Amino acid sequence: MTLRVIVAGATGWTGGAVARGVMDAADMQLVGAVARGAAGQDIGAVHGRAPVGVTVCATLAEALATPADVVIDYTKPPYVKAHTLAAIAAGVAVVVGTSGLTAADYAEIAAAAEAAGVAVFAAGNYSITATLMAKFAVMAAAYVADVEVIDYASAGKPDTPSGTGRELAERLTAVRQPSTAKPVAELGGARETRGATIGAVQVHSVRMPGYTLSCEAVFGAPDERLVIRHDAGSSAAPYVAGTLLAARRVREVPGLRRGLDQLLG
């Protein structure tokens, strides 16, 4: 059966690559596209292709007028929660690609999805190799007590920490041993320099020119250090395969699921 997909943010850096991926997938049909700046244009033509008969909508509400199985959202943090809740209300499964949602946002989404019996999948990073980085870091946390997370991005990235960094900190919190470092609350000076505490992990975000997207888990033990790091290049290609995998499998389980590792076996 062909999977009918709406892509919100269909002309953006990642969303555009995902929209092209959906158009190229033999088992998918792009039935809707949302991008205010390209509203009224054919999504195929927007991406330099032959017209595909799908007119870009200015809002997700307009796109949801067309029957669909899955909404893939790669818009901006101020919009993604409202989009997700709207899709749930319409009975359409959602793949959340945008980072920047808080724990409270996810709790609200989870409750709505559970009540409606609609499936939602979210991941801090849809790259297969970034997912493996997190998996290896979680393995290491069972053996090394002290770990902190550093994420790097361009100066224009609108959220801190990155979705990758936040999700990694949450996963490390679930498995880590008690830290041997002095608690932040007991430190003197500018405590902010120790970063933000997410769960039980200190997270530091670097935002400046010269970076694209990177994330590392830094482990410290007496007389040794382990760094597990993922670096992304300047294209959105690494995120397409994972996003399409999530779209294909999101409807397997109603409610909210988080973390691409759940789909990798």
CA angle 25, 23, 2 (to 5 degrees): 55
Model confidence, pTM: 0.85
143 and 118, same domain (yes or no): no
Looking at residue 99, what is its pLDDT?
85
Token pair listed for 209: 């020119």
| DSSP string covering 12-29 | SHHHHHHHHHHHH-TTEE
Phi, psi of 30, deg, nearest 5: -80, 110
Torsion angle of C-alpha atoms 149, 153, 158, 164, degrees rounded to 10 = -40
Same-domain check for residues 204 and 162: yes
Intervals of the chain under pLDDT 70: 265
Same-domain pairing of 168 and 249 = no
Identify whether residues 98 and 110 lie together within a single domain: yes
For 202-230, write each residue's pLDDT tens digit: 999 999 999 999 999 999 999 999 999 99
Please name every residue paired with 229 in a beta bridge, in sequence order, or none if there are none: 216
Q: What is the pLDDT of residue 205?
A: 98
Domain CATH for 142? 3.30.360.10
Sheet hosting strand 201-207, strand order edge to edge: 196-198, 201-207, 146-153, 213-221, 224-232
Phi/psi at 221 (5° precision): -140, 165
pLDDT at site 1: 86
Identify the pLDDT of residue 265.
Answer: 67
Assess whether 118 and 164 both reside in one domain.
Answer: no
Residues spanned by the domain of 102: 3-122+236-263
Is the domain of 259 the same as that of 174? Answer: no
